[in-house]
Structure 1
């Protein structure tokens, strides 16, 4: 079957529809790091500060999951949760 070379072909890339919950990512990465015997807080701080994904284990897809979230979103969620759970009045 010959295609008409004078016509433009269309190609469509499916956008990822999964809405990533930052809270879920933090929780899941924390558990994956703990399961592998790492200190989750130290490892996540290392990742947030450096951007180096090697601080995060690939166990349970933790590395690929955390890389779907911007590092500033991770900091924002942690700070927001901390403030929501502490009263200074």
Structure 2
């Protein structure tokens, strides 16, 4: 057994090696919720309003992915998209 601990191993979690934009994150979480049979719109609204991440499934690591952004950042992107139409 090698006891040489003079180096540091780097762990990159699932989906963390590629950083997603807010737009991509919203769509990723939407599809993960849909795959698990939830109503994605209602679940995402619940999360944005309450901050309770249990509204977001852990399927495909969606809960971790969405928490990389503040809720107000998510809402800003959603509103900008809606108002630009």
Tell me the TM-score normalized by structure 2: 0.77
Q: Could you tell me how far apart the structure 1 residues matched to 2:32 and 2:20 are?
A: 17
Kindly report structure 1 stretches of 4+ aligned residues shifted beyond 3 Å.
16-20
Report the equivalent of 1:54. 54
Deviation by residue 1:40-64 (Cα, 9 ceiling, x = unmatched)? 0000000000000000000011000
Report the equivalent of 1:35. 35
Structure having the higher Rg? 1
The number of aligned residues is 70
Deviation by residue 1:16-69 (Cα, 9 ceiling, x = unmatched)? 885441000000000000000000000000000000000000001100000001
After superposition, the CA RMSD in angstroms is 1.5
* Greater alpha carbon shift after TM alignment, 60-69 vs 18-27: 18-27
Equivalent runs, 1:8-27 vs 2, <5 Å: 19-27=19-27
